[in-house]
Structure 1
Amino acid sequence: MTQTSERRPARARRDRRPLVPVMFLLVLALAAVFVWWNVFRTEAAGARADAAACSSAEAAAPSLDPTTVQIRVLNATDTAGLAGTVAATMQSRGFVVTEAANDSSPRRGEVTGAGEVRFGPRGAETARYVALFLPGAGSYQDTRADATVDLVIGPEFTELATPEAVAAALTPAASASAAAC
């Protein structure tokens, strides 16, 4: 047996179609479009959130007429006569003080810091205004039906804010929020 070695002729190289690389580039382009769409959508949502924050910052501290605000001044400290002194000061600033007494509520022991402003759902806006007069005061919403606000003097109370400090607290809120917006 004799062997013959025949070489097969080399196949001519065919040009391959670039199907796989084209598909890869297409998928990559779609992914890039999807990412940029999410970025722009997130930026638009952030701009809407900033606009909402600006509008809520403008409404943070309402300026009310003190003669329309009814408050009760309550003393949650051991200092005798403190509620009467603070009530007289608040009356001199135009507030309608309906009562000045010691705090007899169950929350008396929970009052910390300079004090607390207690209010019902109808007195929320009024409470934000009254809180400007007692810097460092906490707030507590209860279930009362009227718009009366309780100004509760706490153990770290030193003095009420001056009318100038309250006016300054009301004025920069609008200008600072306008500058930020």
Structure 2
Amino acid sequence: MGGKYRIKGNKYPRMRRPRRRGRLVGLVVASAAVLGVGGWGAWQLVDVFTGGGRKASAAGSGTECGPERAPRPAPTLPEPRAITVNVFNATTRSGLAKKTADELKKRGFKIGDVGNATKQYDKKVKGPGVLLGPASALDTSLPVLGTQLPGAERRSEAARKGAAVDLVIGDGFKELAKKPDADRALTKLARPEPAPSSKKDC
């Protein structure tokens, strides 16, 4: 070729294609994304097999939380008609024992002895009353009688014979519980609420 396009010397220009930098940048970004996703997946696997999956495994296996407790069986309690109650007055108010005994009789209890309290308790009971009975009555007759006089103290006497129980009226006595309230308390006593599930604290 001549003129200004004439090639001089023994070196010829090499005709190279322009570099596609955009493709190179795209490959770098794609590689970084693949590595990032792979690293995140590997971290999740490590997290599951070490400590991160503790909540899921606990919920699935139940090892962290004990099994749910079964509802408590309702206790076998005697009916008021099967309970004989002796009513004694340990206060200075006259007629209190008979009045209380009459009301208990209306509510279905059997009434035994009625009168003044023995020297052991006479004028010595500061609360509303004391419920006395044999050891076997602590979880049977005394709780049933206790629904009629909330706040009364319960005591057992080891040497006591028979199944009858005593209601000793104290200085804090005003009256027996209202019958509707006593009936509700008796129903609740016979049908206790189920024990709370242990899963609550999980």
TM range (shorter): 0.5 to 0.7
Please tell me whether the aligned partners of residues 98 and 115 of structure 2 are also in contact (alpha carbons under 8 angstroms): yes
Opposite residue 102 of structure 1, the aligned amino acid is: N
- Decide whether aligned partners of structure 1 residues 42 and 112 sit closer, same or farther in structure 2, where only a CA change above 3 A counts: farther
CA shift, 1:155, in A, is 0.4
Pairing partner for 1:55 from 42, 51, 72:
72
The answer for the alignment partner of 1:36 in structure 2 is none
Please tell me whether the aligned partners of residues 121 and 147 of structure 1 are also in contact (alpha carbons under 8 angstroms): no
Q: TM-score, normalised by structure 2?
A: 0.57
2 CA distance for matches of 1:146 and 1:112?
27
CA shift digits 1:47-91 (9 cap, x unpaired): 78xx48x627x43xx653222110100101110110011011111
1 CA distance for matches of 2:189 and 2:165?
23
- Is 1:136 aligned to residue 122 of structure 2? no
The answer for the alignment partner of 2:182 in structure 1 is 166
2 CA distance for matches of 1:104 and 1:132?
24
CA shift digits 1:6-60 (9 cap, x unpaired): xxxxxxxxxxxxxxxxxxxxxxx9xxxxxxxxxx98964xx78xx48x627x43x
Opposite residue 107 of structure 1, the aligned amino acid is: Y
SS of 2:102's partner is: helix
CA shift, 1:150, in A, is 0.2
Please tell me whether the aligned partners of residues 122 and 146 of structure 1 are also in contact (alpha carbons under 8 angstroms): no
- Decide whether aligned partners of structure 1 residues 77 and 55 sit closer, same or farther in structure 2, where only a CA change above 3 A counts: same
SS of 2:142's partner is: helix
After alignment, is 96-105 or 72-81 more displaced? 96-105
CA shift, 1:95, in A, is 1.2
Pairing partner for 2:99 from 79, 85, 88:
85
1 CA distance for matches of 2:118 and 2:142?
20
The answer for the alignment partner of 1:72 in structure 2 is 86
CA RMSD of aligned residues (A): 2.9
SS of 2:187's partner is: helix
Opposite residue 133 of structure 2, the aligned amino acid is: F
How many pairs does the alignment contain? Answer: 135
